[in-house]
Amino acid sequence: MESQDFHSAAALLAWQIELGADEAICDAPVDRYALPDRLAKPEPAAKQKTPSKGVPAPAAAVDVSAVAQMVAQQAVDLPGLKAAMQGFEHCDLKLGARNMVFSDGDPSARVMIIGEAPGRDEDREGRPFVGRAGQLLDRMLDAVDLSRIAGTVYITNVLPWRPPQNRDPKPDEIAMMKPFLERHIALADPDVLVVMGNISCQALLGKKGITRLRGDWVEACGKPTLPMFHPAYLLRNPIAKREAWADLLSLKARLHA
C-alpha cells in the first residue's frame, strides 16, 4: 500500500467519521472468546501486598460532577464559561465530536431555549439548531415575532458535543454537564426558559414524558419554564404541531404580560 501524505489521510479519516465510523478495528479478526491455557490465579487476600510506608495508595475515583460544578462556578462570564467547557476533559463525547456547540443568538435576549444535544449539522457548523429541526424552529419562532437573528432568543443545548450516531445522551453525561448548563442560565439571566424535548426536561426538571409536561409553565433554575416538543419530534409527528402552536402562543402571552 502506498504511503499517504498527511492531508490525504486526514481527508479519508474525516470521510469515514462522516459515514458514522466511531472505532477502529484490526485487519485480522480477534477471537474474544478464546482463553489462555492457564489463567493467573489471584493471590489470597492475606498475601496481597499492602502499600509500603511512604508509598501513596491508589487514587480514588474522580467525582466528575463535583469537578464540573467547581469549574463552572469559576466562570464569571459567558466567554469564560465557554473556555472552561472547551478545557473540560472528563466528557468522552468531546473525543468524537468535530466542534463544541456552545450557543447561538443574543445572550441578553429575554427567551433562552434549551435543546438536547448537537446533531451532525450542528457538529459540523458549531451552532445549535441548524439542521432541518433548526429550520423548523426558526419558522416557529418567526410566527410569534421571535428570532435568533434579530436577537430576541438565545439558544443552547444540554450537551455541547454530539453523541455518536445521534444517540440519546446517557444519564451520567447529562449529570456531568448539568453544572455548566445551570451556570450558563445564571450568566445569561433570561426572563423565561423554553426546554425542548425529553432530554432537556430530564436535565432541568428531573422528569421525562414531554407529551404530559408540554404546555404547563413550571420553574427551573429560578426561571419560569415552558416545556415544548422538540422540533425534530414535530418533523416526525406533524399532527403535534397544533399543540406546539398553542405553546408558542402561551410563550408570546407570557412575554407581553
Sheet holding 192-196, edge to edge: 104-105, 153-157, 111-115, 192-196, 223-228, 218-220
Domain assignment of residue 22, yes or no: no
Domain assignment of residue 252, yes or no: yes
- Specify the residue for cell string 415552558: 226
Please indicate whether residue 212 or residue 60 has the higher confidence score (pLDDT): 212
pLDDT digits (tens, 9 = 90+) for 72-119: 999 999 999 999 999 999 999 999 999 999 999 999 999 999 999 999
Q: Judging by DSSP bridges, how do beta strands 153-157 and 104-105 pair with one another?
A: antiparallel
Q: Judging by DSSP bridges, how do beta strands 192-196 and 218-220 pair with one another?
A: unpaired
> What pLDDT is stored for residue 195 in this prediction?
98
Is 122:189 a contact under the CB 8 Å cutoff? no
CATH code for the domain in which residue 197 is found:
3.40.470.10
What is the Cβ-side half-sphere exposure of residue 219, based on CA atoms within 13 angstroms?
Answer: 3
Domain assignment of residue 166, yes or no: yes
Give the residue among 218, 216, 190 at the shortest CA–CA distance from 204: 218
Domain assignment of residue 134, yes or no: yes
What is the span of the domain harbouring residue 197? 64-256
> What pLDDT is stored for residue 257 in this prediction?
85
Distance CA 226, CA 218 (A): 6
Nine cell digits for residue 56: 501513596
Q: What is the largest CA-CA distance in the chain?
A: 76
Give the Cα-Cα-Cα angle 186, 189, 194 (nearest 5 degrees). 95
Is 192:252 a contact under the CB 8 Å cutoff? no
pLDDT digits (tens, 9 = 90+) for 34-61: 655 555 565 665 555 555 566 555 545 7
Domain tally, the chain: 1
pTM: 0.77
Domain assignment of residue 13, yes or no: no
Number of helices (H) and strands (E), helices first, in the chain? 11, 6
Domain assignment of residue 58, yes or no: no
Does 31 score more than 80 pLDDT? no
Average pLDDT over residues 16-27: 70
Q: Judging by DSSP bridges, how do beta strands 218-220 and 153-157 pair with one another?
A: unpaired
